[in-house]
């Protein structure tokens, strides 16, 4: 399979490192992969024989720009070269996300799918805004749109819903979907500190961003929950349909009272389907110690699906970071190679 | 897809009921399924246009024998009719299991795969004894051997390992894989009763069998663990390679001491891979309250995989019973229809 990578940030670099380390695995599984294009907004690298991963990573880690790379770097390379190249099987879309317009990723994905190129992405914006439209284009062109990385990285959230629950109707989704807020809550439990102190610790450790609103106000959780809901329940829900509350109002006293009863606060995204009415919400919930998500602590994530005929399924895992995110992209790649139908 | 079902016990009946209830689902997903053969050791039913599920279930629930069913019942039907019928796509093998020889299920599966018929089974004996041989025949004939139901019914154990961990090497497997022993341990925790009393309760409720050795001595756990190990780590381990201990020596005092420290005993099947040496064992382990399998209580099951690049994945679910087992068979059926490659 010939691959084009769009975007050259942390996840892209981790993905290229991962592929490079998987040489034995790929040989053993008889899977042949090469990357022919890596593009960012300035241009990129093209090698029809497959880019030398380690050589490129060495070059750019020494502050070389992609366009100056001596083996195929150029400022003239654009996305259109990929579309016009009949040898590309898979586009990996990892450009910076835009949650208002979804662009430019939306156009990249749409054009690739229309050109019968599979798309794998970790780009939440266009998937939240336009999953159904993109998926229909994939179906029409008999290619796959794989988005596992948008809803929890290494946690097999989409996989779990699509394939582990195959043949059953999912009737509810409940998840601890954001590692940053989960870390802050654990920090408050462990050290009895205030929310502001825990947030500062998370920021110092690089877990929370300088502007933490996306995480702590529940928007990241809501985005992941909505993508899961729309993909797995074939819905068309938006942020406007969702009650979203964050964690910034929680006090040490709340935590203390919960601990006295052996309970824990978690930021839970929850979708329920009752009498065919689907409702989505995000907010703090107090979990009993017997709840399957009770032990999902720190940067880990967890999900519980309930279904008509396969009962409950709880999935726990998926630590944060670029390496697990890259492994999630690689998982989608292997599964597409093995004949999975994500788009149907 | 045209299906032949071998065996007409509890799981087969639950499977036929399930398919009958899934008419809307199958229409919505544009999947066309019919059952053409249902055979047991006395003969069976054949209908080239598809057996009428409800009609047949009504007939046999009123104590009618398959061979007397007025629409295609016959004592002359044998497995060879299925092999000679060029219209059968999938064999569902649910005859009584034999853990010493694997027969007759092994021969059924082998012949079907050689005739380019996909096989789905919940039959542990032949899969424990001969998975690799059967899987190689499936690969050679470009058909699938799906065995999800042999390792925990509705719990997506094989799915989780094959597809949710795709692209990563599994480095350990740890599971609560037997509902009966897990129920007995919970009963002892809840009521402070002895092991013998808890076993009697389980027997009265139909959870444990009159001869409970298979469950309580750890053999069922070992069988599931070995199948998972052989499939997911491409090993050839047998019961002889495995230290197997059961739960019958546990006392109320053990339980009490554990509870004082907020710990729980679980019967754990564990496979580890260190320096390329794979070890398998089954026995009681004392789990801390932070362990992801700590809350897997009662008849539920749970598994934790660790991997090279996708981190840990814990799967919890899969209550016991014929209906979840049938839903697991149905899941494999849908995934084969959707292009999954179980055999590769």
Return the pLDDT at B299: 82
Residue A175 backbone phi and psi in degrees, to 5: -150, 150
> Which residues of B are less than 8 Å from A22 in CB distance?
167
Residues A278/A234, Cβ–Cβ less than 8 Å? no
Per-residue model confidence (pLDDT) at position B319 = 72
SS3 string, chain A, reads CEEEEECCCHHHHHHHHHHHHCHHHHHHCCCCCEEEEEEECCEEEECCCCCCHHHHHHHHHCCCCHHHCCCCEECCCCHHHHHHCCCCCEEEECCCCCCCCCCCHHHHHHHHHHCCCEEEECCHHHHHHHHHHHHHHHHHCCCCEECHHHHCCCCCHHHHHHHHCCCCCEEEEEEECCHHHHHHHHHHHHHCCCHHHHHHHHHHCCCCCCCCHHHHCCHHHHHHHHHHHHHHCCCCCCHHHEEECCCCCCCHHHHHHHHHCCCEEEEEEEEEEECCEEEEEEEEEEECCCCCCCCCCCCCEEEEEEECCCCEEEEEECCCCHHHHHHHHHHHHHHHHCCCCCCC
What is the overall mean pLDDT for chain B? 95
Catalytic residue among B13, B110, B186, B224, which? B224
pLDDT of residue B87: 96
* β-strands A43-46, B301-307 pairing: unpaired
The DSSP secondary structure of B218-235, one letter per residue, reads SHHHHHHHHHHHHHHS--
How buried is residue A39: exposed, middle or buried, by Cβ count under 10 Å (0-12/13-18/19+)?
A: buried
Q: Distance between CA atoms of A214 and A141, rounded to whole angstroms?
A: 35
Asked if A142 has any chain B CB less than 8 Å from its own CB, the reply is no
Q: Which of residues 26-55 of A touch B (CB under 8 A)?
A: 29
Percent of the residues in chain B that have a pLDDT greater than 70, as a whole number: 100
Identify which of B18, B310, B334 has the shortest CB distance to residue A166.
Answer: B334
Inter-chain residue contact A309 with B18, CB threshold 8 Å: yes
pLDDT (average), residues A288-293: 93
Q: Are B247 and B179 in contact (CB under 8 A)?
A: no
CA-based nearest residue in chain A for residue B29: A344
Which of B163, B309, B334 is closest, CB to CB, to A167?
B334
pLDDT at A198: 98
pLDDT tens per residue, range A3-18: 999 999 999 999 999 9
Q: Which residues in chain A are contacts of B338 at CB distance < 8 A?
A: 166, 340-341, 344
**Cβ contact B309–A315 (<8 Å):** no
Q: Tell me what the mean pLDDT of segment B146-174 comes to.
A: 95
Q: CA of B31: which chain A residue's CA is closest?
A: A167
**pLDDT band at residue B318 using 50, 70 and 90 as cut-offs:** confident
Residue B261 has pLDDT above 80, yes or no: yes
Determine whether the annotation assigns residue B209 to a binding site. Answer: yes
User: Nearest CA to CA, how far is B76 from chain A (Å)?
Assistant: 34
Task: Check CB contact under 8 Å for B311 and A319.
Answer: yes
The string of pLDDT tens digits covering residues A47-90 is 999 999 999 999 999 999 999 999 999 999 999 999 999 999 99
Cβ separation of B338 and A333 shorter than 8 Å?
no
Tell whether A156 lies on the interface with B, counting CB pairs under 8 A: yes
- Average confidence score pLDDT of chain A: 95
Domains and CATH numbers, chain A: 2-154+322-337 (3.40.50.720), 162-317 (3.30.360.10)
Residues of A tagged active-site: 224
- pLDDT attached to residue B255: 97
* Residue closest to A138 by CA, chosen among A123, A122, A157, A117: A117
> What average pLDDT does range B20-46 have in this prediction?
95
Residues in A touching B327 (Cβ below 8 Å): 167-168, 309-311
Q: How many CB pairs under 8 A join A and B?
A: 149
Using a CB-CB cut-off of 8 Å, the residues of chain B touching A333 are 167
CA distance A154 to chain B (A): 6
Judging contacts by C-beta atoms under 8 Å, the chain A residues touching residue B186 are none
Q: For an interface test with B, which of A167, A301, A326, A328 has the most B Cβ atoms less than 10 Å from its Cβ?
A: A167
pLDDT band at B109 (very low <50, low <70, confident <90, very high): very high
Please state the rounded mean pLDDT for residues B288-304.
92
DSSP designation for B76 = S
Question: Would you state the pLDDT for residue B344?
Answer: 84
Provide mean pLDDT across the span A318-334.
Answer: 91
Question: What are the tens digits of pLDDT across the range B51-90?
Answer: 999 999 999 999 999 999 999 999 999 999 999 999 999 9
3-state secondary structure at position B30: coil
pLDDT of residue A300: 87
Kindly indicate the confidence band of residue B298, based on its pLDDT and cuts at 50, 70 and 90: confident
CB within 8 Å: B164 and A167: no
Give the list of residues 6+ apart from residue A193 with CB closer than 8 angstroms, or none: A187, A201, A252
Instruction: Please check whether residue B169 touches A, CB under 8 A.
Output: yes
CA dist A48 and A85 (Å) reads 10
Segment A156-197, tens digit of pLDDT = 999 999 999 999 999 999 999 999 999 999 999 999 999 999
Average pLDDT over residues A318-333: 91
In this predicted structure, the answer to whether residue B320 has a pLDDT above a threshold of 90 is no
pLDDT for A45 equals 98
Asked whether the predicted pLDDT for residue A320 surpasses 80, the reply is no
Contact B333 A167 (CB under 8 A): yes
pLDDT of residue A216: 98
- The enclosing H or E element of B24 equals helix B23-28
Using an 8 Å CB-CB cutoff, list chain B residues near A340: 163, 338-340
What's the mean pLDDT in B252-264?
A: 97
| B290 → chain A, closest CA residue | A295
- Rounded to the nearest angstrom, the minimum Cα separation between B15 and chain A is 11
Which residue of A26, A310, A331 to mutate against B (max B Cβ within 10 Å)?
A: A310
For A288, nearest residue in chain B (alpha carbons): B295
Q: What is the pLDDT of residues A237-263, one digit of tens each?
A: 999 999 999 999 999 999 999 999 999
Res. A344 pLDDT band, cuts 50 70 90: confident
Nearest to B160 among A164, A169, A327 (CB): A164
Q: Is B271 helix (H, G, I), strand (E, B) or coil?
A: strand
Q: What's the confidence (pLDDT) of residue A311?
A: 92
pLDDT tens digit sequence for B171-218: 999 999 999 999 999 999 999 999 999 999 999 999 999 999 999 999
How crowded is the C-beta side of A269, counted as CA atoms within 13 Å? 31
More confident residue, A298 or A109: A109
Distance, in Å, from the CA atom of A297 to the CA atom of B27, rounded to the nearest integer, reads: 41
Q: A235 labelled as ligand-binding?
A: no
Pairwise CA distance, residues A216 & B103, whole Å: 58
């Amino acid at each position: 399979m010939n691959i084009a990578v769009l975007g050259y940030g942390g996840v892209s670099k981790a993905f290229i490192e991962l592929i490079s380390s998987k040489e034995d695995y790929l040989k053993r599984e008889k899977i042949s992969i090469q990357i022919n294009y890596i593009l960012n907004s300035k241009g990129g690298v093209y090698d029809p024989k497959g880019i030398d991963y380690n050589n490129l990573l060495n070059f750019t880690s020494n502050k070389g720009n992609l366009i100056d790379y001596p083996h195929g770097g150029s400022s003239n390379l654009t996305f259109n070269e990929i579309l016009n190249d009949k040898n590309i099987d898979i586009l990996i879309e990892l450009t910076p996300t835009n949650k208002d317009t979804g662009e430019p990723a939306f156009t990249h994905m749409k054009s690739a799918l229309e050109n019968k190129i599979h798309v794998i992405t970790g780009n939440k914006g266009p998937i939240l805004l336009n999953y159904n439209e993109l998926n229909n284009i994939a179906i029409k062109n008999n290619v796959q749109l794989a988005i596992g990385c948008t809803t929890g990285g290494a946690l097999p959230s989409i996989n779990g819903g699509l394939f582990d629950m195959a043949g059953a109707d999912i009737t509810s989704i409940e998840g601890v979907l954001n590692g940053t807020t989960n870390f802050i809550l654990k920090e408050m439990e462990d050290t009895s500190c205030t929310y502001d102190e825990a947030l500062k610790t998370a920021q110092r450790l690089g877990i929370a961003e300088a502007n933490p609103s996306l995480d702590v106000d529940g928007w990241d959780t809501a985005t992941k929950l909505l993508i899961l809901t729309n993909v797995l329940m074939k819905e068309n829900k938006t942020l406007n349909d969702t009650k979203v509350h964050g964690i910034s109002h929680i006090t040490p006293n709340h935590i203390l009272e919960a601990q006295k009863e052996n309970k824990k606060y978690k930021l839970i995204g929850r979708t329920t389907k009752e009498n065919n009415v689907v409702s989505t919400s995000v907010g703090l919930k107090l979990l009993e110690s017997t709840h399957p998500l009770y032990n999902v602590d720190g940067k880990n994530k967890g999900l519980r699906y309930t279904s008509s005929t396969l009962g409950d399924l709880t999935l726990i895992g998926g630590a944060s970071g670029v390496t697990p995110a890259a492994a999630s992209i690689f998982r989608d790649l292997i599964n597409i190679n093995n004949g999975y139908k994500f788009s149907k």
